[in-house]
Every structure is written in C-alpha cells, then in structure tokens.
C-alpha cells in the first residue's frame, strides 16, 4: 500500500460510511451508461464477426 492510501484509510473512521459519490471520488456522467452499452455490444459483434471469419475460412 502506498503512503497516500495508508494515510487516506487512517483518516476514515471505521464507523463512518461513505456515500456513492464520495467513494467514487467523482460524479459519473449520464452518457457513461450509453458508452458502456455501445462498447460492450461493439465488442460482442466484433468477436462474433472474427469467429465467423475463422469458422467460414
């Protein structure tokens, strides 16, 4: 563990709970879910096309 991570962990009390934004350290943009969906679908389509090329060849 780095020195920063150790200090940060020591600063947070064991009984203190962090909400989602504090734990993430940033606000996720609304477009993020679309980027994840399109990226996942694109990867599946690309791997399917590669698989078909190898099976057909």
d(CA 8, CA 11): 5
pLDDT at residue 44, as a whole number: 98
Which pLDDT does position 9 carry in this prediction? 59
pLDDT digits (tens, 9 = 90+) for 12-51: 555 677 777 777 777 778 888 899 999 999 999 999 999 9
Give the contacts of 12 (CB within 8 A, at least 6 positions apart).
18
Residues 1, 7: contact at Cβ < 8 Å?
A: no
Provide mean pLDDT across the span 53-57.
86
Evaluate whether 39 touches 32 at the Cβ level (below 8 Å). Answer: no
| Contact predicate 18/12, CB 8 Å | yes
């Amino acid at each position: 563990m780095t020195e920063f991570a150790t200090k940060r962990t020591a600063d947070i009390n064991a009984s203190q709970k962090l909400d989602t934004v504090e734990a993430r350290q940033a606000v996720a943009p609304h477009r993020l879910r679309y980027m994840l969906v399109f990226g996942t679908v694109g990867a599946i389509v690309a791997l399917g096309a590669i698989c078909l090329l190898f099976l057909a060849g």
